[in-house]
Structure 1
Amino acid sequence: MMVTKREHWDEVYRTKAADSVSWYQPTPEPSLRALDELQLPATAALVDVGGGASSLVDCLIERGWSDLTVLDIAAPALDAAKARLRDDAARVAWVVADVTVWRPERHYDVWHDRAVFHFLTEAEQRIAYRHALEAATAPSSVVILATFAPDGPERCSGLPVRRYDAAALAAEFGSAFALEREWREEHTTPGGGRQSFQWCVFRRR
């Protein structure tokens, strides 16, 4: 029987501890550094696409950010984050959705995606992602995006991925988004493995 994307990710988070998955970071340092360099106010609206059980939202709450949304296809991932945040969970908007079919109802100053886009192996999925991105951003909005680099893994969590360098990501997003900064990260997994990531910061024109 064919397993849907939602069923796949629900099962991942039901069967694995949030701090044991390969993409786990004790502190989301690359994301925080990117936000620091952008010098955005704590009132900026940020959506963490595929945020799942990531601790980015915890760090931003600690920094005084007040307009936070976390979107993920897997409800168990968001439940793990809510349980960890306890009372602070009420300060976040939680959205269970597949970003490729999500219809945002507002604009965000920051679109943050660490490791969702590279799972979109079909052209129509990437087109749908861009439609959501364009609907959720306005001129001057910032996009912080991380995917596996060309020498990164070919699969993750049992699924195939597409790998990118900065030029390939810029081509995917087109002329509506200007590439402002790019860098590579060597991520160490909880099991001690190494994964090469490509990070990019784009600004909506």
Structure 2
Amino acid sequence: MSDRTTHWQNVYATKGEAEVSWFQDSPTISLDMIRAARPDRDAAIIDIGGGASRLVDALLREGYRDLTVLDLSANALDTAKKRIGAAASTVDWIVADATTWRPMKTYDVWHDRAAFHFLTDPHDRAAYVERLRLAVKPEGHVIIATFAPDGPETCSGLPVQRYDSASLAAQLEPDFELVETRSETHRTPWNSTQAFQFSRFRRRGS
């Protein structure tokens, strides 16, 4: 296993779902931005670094039928599967690193609230963006949330790269066009706050 995989396997083996700083009972902004992309209920949606996130639960409740969750940690995905129950069998669960994964299909919506800001090496960021190009359909949407410029400098003991919408857009150009951005002050389970930015991009048609 890579160092990244080992780290996240350990996190989810030793901490409960609501014992991590990024826990959200309801992923409101993510849902709003997915709705704004206007995918139909058969649209292919992937959550990158989804881990034990409750976004997939919410999307299932809203009737989406082609859902994929990708994460480095099998432990994280197992937590989500157990929580969801029988409906988990309708979701495609992928244990992989988003920088080395080989997409087997294309997606209408790519969502990431967890992975990109941990990629502090430019080579890893370039590899991630190459997967975006392979995996997102022309006119498809990409939603990436990262720590904002005034957000934390580390998370889960790891350094992060902070962004505003402009600096994030510079990472994705020229293939992806910024459509909207939103700010969030995330409240952790222990009542501290973290500044996030959410940006939605549209893949330029080919």
TM-score (norm 1): 0.97
1:37 aligns with 36
- CA-CA distance at 1:42 after TM superposition: 1.2
- CA-CA distance at 1:38 after TM superposition: 2.3
Q: List per-residue Cα deviations over 1:108-167 (Å, max 9, x = no partner).
A: 000000021000000000001011111101210100110000000000000000000000
- CA-CA distance at 1:41 after TM superposition: 1.0
1:172 aligns with 171
1:86 aligns with 85
CA distance in 1, matches of 2:56, 2:128: 22
The correspondence of residues 91-130 of structure 1 with structure 2, limited to 5 A, is 91-130=90-129
Q: List per-residue Cα deviations over 1:33-65 (Å, max 9, x = no partner).
A: 112222221111000000000011111111110
Q: SS state of the match for residue 61, structure 1? A: helix
Asked if the contact 1:70/1:95 (under 8 Å) is kept, the reply is yes
1:72 aligns with 71
Gaps of 5+ in 2: none
Gaps of 5+ in 1: none
CA distance in 1, matches of 2:107, 2:80: 21
2:56 aligns with 57
1:132 aligns with 131
Aligned residues: 204
Asked if the contact 2:48/2:114 (under 8 Å) is kept, the reply is no
Q: List per-residue Cα deviations over 1:147-191 (Å, max 9, x = no partner).
A: 000000000000000000000000000110000001111000001
- CA-CA distance at 1:20 after TM superposition: 1.3
Q: What is the alpha-carbon root mean square deviation over aligned residues?
A: 1.1
The code of the aligned residue for 2:153 comes to E
The code of the aligned residue for 1:181 comes to E
Q: SS state of the match for residue 99, structure 1? A: coil
State, as a whole percentage, how many aligned pairs show the same letter: 52
